[in-house]
Each structure stands twice: as C-alpha cells, then as structure tokens.
Chain A
Amino acid sequence: MAEHTRRDFLKRTAMAGGAMALAPLGNAAAQDAPAQMCIARWKGPADAQGDVTTTMATKLTEQAVAAIGGMKRFVSQGDVVWVKPNIAWDRAPQFGANTNPDLVATLVRLCLEAGAKKVKVGDNPCNPAKKTYPNSGIEAAAKAAGAEVVYIDEKRFKDVAIKGQRLDKWLLYPEIIESDLVINCPIVKDHSIARATVCMKNYMGVAGGQRGLWHQNLALCLCDITAFMKPPMCVVDATRVMTDNGPTGGNLSDVKQLNTVAAGTDVVALEAFGAELLGLDPAKVKSAAAGQAAGLGTMDYRSLALKELEVA
C-alpha cells in the first residue's frame, strides 16, 4: 500500500510539474474552464501553394483539443484509445475524402502524452483497406506518431445489442467498442442523401455486415449508433471539406479548403457546425435534426460554451 501511495504522489507531482511547464506555451483558453466546443481557424501562413500543411493541421488540432479541456480530460492513465478517422476511400489526402492524416497523428500523440497505454487507429473502409490506409496518408502518419494501425478483420465482427429506435442489434467490431475511449474524427463532406456527413455518419465505420441498409433510414440509424457509442468528444476535420460528389469526390474542384478544425463534447453541435460549413441549414440535415430530437445534443452550437480561436 505504501508503495502505491508513493507512486501516486510521484505521479501527481510529475503531472503538476508537466502542466506548469506546459502552461506558458498553451493557449490562454486552456487555463479557463474548458469549453464545450472549440472552432480553431488558421490565420497563419500557408505553404507556397496555399495548401493545408502539417503545421497547420497539427496546431489547429492541438489548440482545439486544449480548449475543450485537453486530452487528459478524456484519457486516463493506461487507457486503450481507438482513434476513428474516416479512411473509407482510396484517395490521396488532397481530395478531401478521408480525414487529414496530420490531424489523426496529432490526436494519437496527444492521447499517448495524456497517458494512454495504447492508441489504435482503424476504420472499416468502403474500398479495400490495403489501398485506403496507405493512400490516405493515415497509416504512415499514425504509425509515426506511435499508433497501432489496425486492419479490420471481416470475420471478427460480433452481433451487439444496440436497442435503438431502428437498429435492434448489429454486427460491430469488438476491438473498437471495447476500447476505453473512441475518438471520432471525421472529415466534413457532401452526401447526396444525408446532405452533409460529419460525426454521426463516421460511426458506420464501426459496423460490418449489410450496413448499407442503414441508408434506408439513415437519420435514425445514425442516431442509434451514435447513442450507442456515447461519444465523450469528437474532433472534426474541416481543413478541407468536400462540397460536391461526396462522399468519394475524386476531383480537386469537389474540395474546398477551410483550414478549420473543431473539437467538442456535443456530437450534434459538431454535426450542425459541419453542415453550416457546407452552406446548409443544419435543420435540413436529418441526422443532426434527429440527433437533437433524440436528446444526443443541440444543433445550436452557439448556445454552448463555445471558444473560437484564431491560430497562427
């Protein structure tokens, strides 16, 4: 017992010391009461082509997460964390079909720094994972940041009781849902039926089987899976957004560069924010509206403790 106490004491001291050391570097926001949602917009320099850079995605992510309380608010010592980006499509990062790889890498690093024992990154993609993982840039970036990149095994899905409005049970990936924390980090994209896809649609990546059937009542199915996943926080990639021909795109004219990252604890608020980025009225995006009706959050993200940062 004595040893435990001593170890705890040492740990606390070290953490406090670390926090003090980091404090001057962090944004002032980090020292206030944490925000419920943060929108971080890049005001710094871009590269010669004006494209999204590693520094940009990294700083935006770091500061957005810091503003909602920092990763330590969500990750406990020894946790196993699953970072769930969108890695669905065999497209290079500039096409905006998958989550920005530097954003994913930053989340991995933040989790490890916050004490996570292991950080896994993976998705159940639409194109073959052997192509989407490397071509999205996410595999290399996540590995370099210290994550274990997991290829989904089609044969390891298990029927799980969801008990939702529309989904009673479904094949989900045990390794994901058994993680201590799942960080949903989608990219904002156009979609012909959902209109906009943000956090809620990204949860399709934890499901297997005939998940395409969900489109027959997409809003309610997404509510069900979101309610089941109970996201404590999500990070939305809007460095690039896909404005047309979603969710696959494939043409640079389908992509708009917004240089923005949002983090928050309210999944519906992030959904609504993403919809607005695509120029849509969030109330017309059925998943967001249904999410609010189901009590998963509020579309009125401005009513939350919102922090808007300009990052350089």
Chain B
Amino acid sequence: MSSRAVGKKVVWARRVVQAACLCLFLFLFWAAGLGEDEEASPWLRAFFDVDPLVLIATWLSAHELPAAFLFAFITLGATVLLGRVFCGWVCPLGTLHNMVSWLRTRRRRRRDAGDQWSPWQRAKYLLLVVLLVMALFGAHWIGVFDPLCLFYRSLATAVYPGAQYAVEDAATAVYQSDPHLGPLHATALTEPAYGFLRDHVFARERGAFRGAGLIFALFVGIVVLNVYRPRFWCRYVCPLGALLGLCAKRPALRLVTEGCTECGRCAMKCPAAASPDKPGHWRSTECFGCWNCIAACDQDAITFKLKSPFPAPSEAKLDLSRRAVLSAGLGGVGGVILLRQSPEAQALIYNPELIRPPGARPEREFLQRCLKCGLCMKACPTNALHPTGLEAGLEGVWTPRLVPRVGYCAYNCNLCGQVCPTEAIEPLPLKEKQAIRIGLATIDRARCLPYAYDRTCLICEEHCPVSPKAIFFVTADVQTSDGRTRQLKQPHVEPDRCTGCGICEHVCVFKDRPAIRVTSANEARHSGNRAILPGPSQFEDADVEGAPESPYGQSDGNPYQ
C-alpha cells in the first residue's frame, strides 16, 4: 500500500478518535450534576486528570497532587514517543477548532501565508513560561488558558445555558401566544418536542451565570480566529500545546521525506504550520501528528517512521532565545506582583461578596489550586455558583463564588467538593458540609417588612434549613400608618447557627436588593474574617431572664480546673 493510502486510512481513524473524544468530553460535561445523583463519579473530571499542564502547574503552585493526576503522565509519555498527538487526536477544543478550520480550508486551491510557519508560533512557549512562573509563586492562572478548562468553563457558564435558554424561550413564546389554524395548534408539535428536550436532553433547571457574556465572547472569538488561521489557538496561544511541544522536541515517530517535489500540497493541509513541505525542516514541536500531509502527498514522498531519537535529528529547532525565555519568566514574576496589589489579595480586608463554596480552602490555598474550569458551577443543582468577576481580584477571575440572590447552597448537597479536580474545594462528607460556615446572614432593617413596612413576613425563617433554625423571631410593638400599635414578629439571626447557605437571601420578597443578605463574614476558612466569638452569647448580666448561672458564682469553684 502506498504511503498516501495508509495516510488516508490513518486520517479517517484520527477523525473517528477525535469525534469519540469530543463526544466523551461533551457527555461527561452533560452528566455533571445531572439528576439526583448524590455521589459524583470520578469520571466527570477525567479530562482534567490526563491534562499534564494542570498536573505540573498545580504541583508548582500547591506542591501537592491528587493521585488521579498521575494519569497525565500517560499523556506526557505518549507525547515523548509520538509527538503532539494529544492535540491532533484527543483535545476536544482542538477538534472543535478543526471543524471550524475546515470551513475555511475545504475549497482552498492556492497556498497562502497561513500555511507557513510563523515566528509568532513561539508566543505560546513564552506564555507557558509566564504561567508556570506565576504558578510557582502560587498564582494559578493556568486555567484561564488551558484548553480543557477554557472549553469546559465556556460550555458550563455560557454555551449550554444559552442553548437551553433559546429552546425554552422559543417554546414558551409559542406556548403563550398559542398560534393555531382552526383546531390545529402549533403547541401540539412544539410542546412534546420541548418536553423531550427539557426532560431528556437538558434534564435540569436552566442556569444563568454572572459574567457569562465575557466568557462567551472570548470563546466565540477563539473559535472564529480559526477563519484567520486554521487552529489559531493551538498554533499561537495554547500553553498546553506548548508544554506538549517541548516534550515533542525529539519524538520517536518522525516525518520522513523521500522524493519530494516541493509542490506544497501537504503544507496546505497542515493545520499546525509544521512545515512538512520543507525536507529537513519539519517542526516536530508544532506537528499534531494528524497525518493530513501524508494523505495529501500524491508523490508518496512523505511518511511517519519510528526512529531512534539519538543522535539528535537535524530538523528545525524550536529556536527560543534565552533572552525571551528569561523575559517571560520575569514577566511571570511581575504578573504575580501585579495581581497581588490589592488589600483583599493580601488578606488585609475581605470582600463581602466573595462567598466561596462549602469546603473551599483558605483563599490563598484555594487560588493555588482552582482551575477556573467551571465543573463545580455545572454540578451545582441550584445555580448558586458563578464565575467570579473581580471580587477576588484579577488573580481569582472565573473562580467559583456563591451568589445567593440567584441560588443557594442546598443543604443536602456536597457535589462541588466531590467534582473539584484539584480539591480546591475539599470533598467534605455531607454531615461536615452541612455544618460548615461559608458566610453570615444580616437583616437589613430598613427594608425587612416586619421592621420597615408593618407587614408580616417569614419566608427567610420558613426556609432556613438548620434545626434549630438560625433565624428566630422577637415579637415587637410597631406603629402602623394610622397611628395604632400592633405586634409583629421580627426576624433575627443567631450567628452561631447560621451557615451562610444563602437560602434566606434567595427567597426574600425583595428581588432587587434582598432585605436579608449573606456576606462572607464569619466564614470558617478564615480566622481573620471571623466576626463572632464562637460559642453561645454570653449572659454576663444577671438580670437577663433565663440566663444560665455564672460558673463564677458557683460554690464548687474554679472553672479552669
């Protein structure tokens, strides 16, 4: 069989593998937080476990790794042997890029600048250096650029909820306007279709995420760039691609040329601009191992062959100047210093709106681990977890935070900790999670109905999930507008029982600015943000009715013994 025929077969095999990996990625995404499962499968984070960039960066920043990450060594090993096959065969974002690039390349007959290697392809290596240096200093910004984190986050917060919104809104519009011709109602078609999508495809309440617009715009931008250069992201930006490129400096599987007429057909089909058309100058660090070039060569002049990596091949070098690498490293250091220039980042003060999911480590450790992948946001059943904007500084952008106005921490749920790939949110047993404080509720007496508007209301107390309830009533005389006095029950918060789950804020009758609000105060993970001395309130005044007797007053003595 000619090498071209083999190439064509391999290309088809690759497409099948790519499709399977993309489908698996999407399936695992879809399955996260679906239905009533209270045990999350470790498979949900499988793609993050095999991502060597996540492995290395998390190890640099947190100096610790969950065992599952060792799977990433398989990826590294495969790359050392076969080159960047992860990019060409596995990466789901790469496959999406491939599909969009195809729109550009399918009819092309002539060569253009996009086929040529560009020195800008070195930018990704420098970005990798910046990010790894930042990670070394604890600023885990890998997740902003890592393709798997980026893809997952965009799906979870923007693409998937957006699709669900479109379907639901369209079907609801038809349902409400009920267009019909005589006895023929459009809803006879749309309602079953909508019901099917609702119950079996989306299969969960729709979420809407804070700041999803920016994430969506960036995602669309990254995808559209494929029209300018095929796999733009993979060629110029992707730090995972760069890491794998560094591992593929001398792969065992190498492109071998014999009898090339330099017609350039292979380069036109090369999505990586890896110069397959220049014998002796093939760039193994760029090549995705996709076999397009071989399938395109009607001279049968090129093929992949296993070769010993010793002595070093004479092919094109990576050519990163020492000066550029050093500058990038310094840039990483500068980046860390820049990110830390806020009182919040230095834990001098705490942002009241930065309520972290239950089990989140102390902020510094949390940021050393969080990938910003959005898996917790996808798994959360109440749409409570949202990508942080700047509440945690630029360093914590897109990390999860609880927005109680939109959703609350469900009492019987600890999924976020179960799914977190890096244990930035620790997997707490349910009992522990139910007791952990993530914030504190405060009543706004200028708004709360029984204080401010002479109305009975109790929704916050009614929904409070702890027993005994953290919200209790004190009956008070209030003046009504017609001058009479009536008694109303006014809610108060017992800080020792309040966990900050946020359901009170979520259900408050005020939907613009709730009259009971949860802030990060009293969160268990920071002693510095503690507002209340643990333990019950003190009855030092003997006149308080029902006060326990002071231990000091007892004849049998010294409480310190």
- Mark A residues whose CB is within 8 Å of B: 90-91, 126-128, 130-131, 133-135, 151, 153-156, 191-193, 210, 212-213, 215-218, 244-245, 247-251, 254
Can you identify 10 A-B contacts, CB atoms within 8 angstroms?
A130-B36, A154-B205, A155-B175, A156-B172, A212-B457, A212-B459, A244-B468, A248-B463, A249-B467, A250-B411
CB contacts (< 8 Å) of A213 on chain B: these are: 509
B523-561: contact bitstring with A at CB < 8 Å (1 yes, 0 no)? 000000000000000000000000000000000000000
CB < 8 Å neighbour of A126 from B168, B205, B463: B463
- Nearest-Cβ distance from residue A240 to partner chain B, whole angstroms: 15
- Nearest-Cβ distance from residue B372 to partner chain A, whole angstroms: 25
CB < 8 Å neighbour of B467 from A126, A193, A218, A245: A245
Q: Judging by beta carbons under 8 Å apart, are B461 and A192 in contact?
A: yes
CB contacts (< 8 Å) of B467 on chain A: these are: 244-245, 248-251, 254
Residue B456, interface by CB 8 Å: yes
Given contacts A90-B411, A131-B410, A248-B462, contact A212 B198 (CB under 8 A): no
Q: Judging by beta carbons under 8 Å apart, are B175 and A156 in contact?
A: yes
B163-178: contact bitstring with A at CB < 8 Å (1 yes, 0 no)? 0000010001001000
- Nearest-Cβ distance from residue B73 to partner chain A, whole angstroms: 37
Q: Judging by beta carbons under 8 Å apart, are A248 and B168 in contact?
A: no
Known: A126-B507, A212-B457, A215-B456. 6 other contacts (CB 8 A): A213-B509, A216-B449, A218-B456, A245-B467, A248-B469, A249-B467
- Nearest-Cβ distance from residue A106 to partner chain B, whole angstroms: 23
Bound: A181/B463 CA distance, A = 30
Residues 448-466 of B at the A interface (beta carbon under 8 Å): 449, 455-459, 461-466
A92 nearest CB neighbor, chain B only:
B412
CB contacts (< 8 Å) of B456 on chain A: these are: 193, 215-218
CB < 8 Å neighbour of A131 from B198, B381, B468, B507: B381
Q: Judging by beta carbons under 8 Å apart, are B509 and A193 in contact?
A: no
Q: Judging by beta carbons under 8 Å apart, are B412 and A215 in contact?
A: no
CB contacts (< 8 Å) of A215 on chain B: these are: 456-459, 462
Bound: A156/B194 CA distance, A = 12
Residue B119, interface by CB 8 Å: no
- Nearest-Cβ distance from residue A228 to partner chain B, whole angstroms: 22
A254 nearest CB neighbor, chain B only:
B467
Q: Judging by beta carbons under 8 Å apart, are A212 and B507 in contact?
A: yes
Residue B204, interface by CB 8 Å: yes
Q: Judging by beta carbons under 8 Å apart, are B410 and A127 in contact?
A: yes
Q: Using a Cβ–Cβ cut-off of 8 Å, how many residues does chain B contribute to the interface with A?
A: 35
B407 nearest CB neighbor, chain A only:
A128
CB contacts (< 8 Å) of B35 on chain A: these are: 130
B461 nearest CB neighbor, chain A only:
A192
A89 nearest CB neighbor, chain B only:
B465
Residue B382, interface by CB 8 Å: yes
Bound: A298/B36 CA distance, A = 42
- Nearest-Cβ distance from residue B435 to partner chain A, whole angstroms: 12
Residues 407-437 of B at the A interface (beta carbon under 8 Å): 410-413
- Nearest-Cβ distance from residue A281 to partner chain B, whole angstroms: 18
CB contacts (< 8 Å) of A156 on chain B: these are: 172, 175
Bound: A250/B466 CA distance, A = 7
- Nearest-Cβ distance from residue B169 to partner chain A, whole angstroms: 8
Q: Judging by beta carbons under 8 Å apart, are A193 and B489 in contact?
A: yes
A253 nearest CB neighbor, chain B only:
B467
Bound: A172/B204 CA distance, A = 21
Residue B473, interface by CB 8 Å: yes
CB < 8 Å neighbour of A212 from B172, B466, B509: B509
CB < 8 Å neighbour of A155 from B172, B449, B455, B489: B172
Bound: A25/B164 CA distance, A = 53
- Nearest-Cβ distance from residue A139 to partner chain B, whole angstroms: 8
B468 nearest CB neighbor, chain A only:
A245
- Nearest-Cβ distance from residue B33 to partner chain A, whole angstroms: 9
Bound: A251/B382 CA distance, A = 23
Given contacts A213-B509, A216-B455, contact A135 B412 (CB under 8 A): yes
Q: Judging by beta carbons under 8 Å apart, are A192 and B473 in contact?
A: yes
CB < 8 Å neighbour of A130 from B172, B381, B455, B462: B381
Bound: A156/B411 CA distance, A = 27
Bound: A216/B489 CA distance, A = 12
- Nearest-Cβ distance from residue A20 to partner chain B, whole angstroms: 43
- Nearest-Cβ distance from residue B544 to partner chain A, whole angstroms: 23
CB contacts (< 8 Å) of A131 on chain B: these are: 36, 381, 410, 412-413
CB contacts (< 8 Å) of B509 on chain A: these are: 210, 212-213
Q: Judging by beta carbons under 8 Å apart, are A193 and B458 in contact?
A: yes
Bound: A212/B459 CA distance, A = 6
CB contacts (< 8 Å) of A135 on chain B: these are: 36, 412
A246 nearest CB neighbor, chain B only:
B462
CB < 8 Å neighbour of A248 from B175, B458, B464, B473: B464
Q: Judging by beta carbons under 8 Å apart, are B468 and A155 in contact?
A: no
CB contacts (< 8 Å) of B489 on chain A: these are: 192-193
CB contacts (< 8 Å) of B411 on chain A: these are: 90, 127, 250
Given contacts A128-B382, A131-B36, A216-B456, contact A247 B449 (CB under 8 A): no
- Nearest-Cβ distance from residue B470 to partner chain A, whole angstroms: 11
Bound: A309/B466 CA distance, A = 37
B408 nearest CB neighbor, chain A only:
A127
Of listed B462, B466, B489, B507, residue having the most chain A CB within 10 A:
B462
CB contacts (< 8 Å) of B464 on chain A: these are: 248
Bound: A218/B462 CA distance, A = 13
Given contacts A213-B509, A217-B456, contact A128 B205 (CB under 8 A): yes
B491 nearest CB neighbor, chain A only:
A192
Bound: A217/B488 CA distance, A = 13
Bound: A155/B195 CA distance, A = 12
Bound: A156/B410 CA distance, A = 24
- Nearest-Cβ distance from residue A169 to partner chain B, whole angstroms: 16
B463-488: contact bitstring with A at CB < 8 Å (1 yes, 0 no)? 11111110001000000000000000
- Nearest-Cβ distance from residue B496 to partner chain A, whole angstroms: 16
CB < 8 Å neighbour of B410 from A128, A192, A249, A254: A128
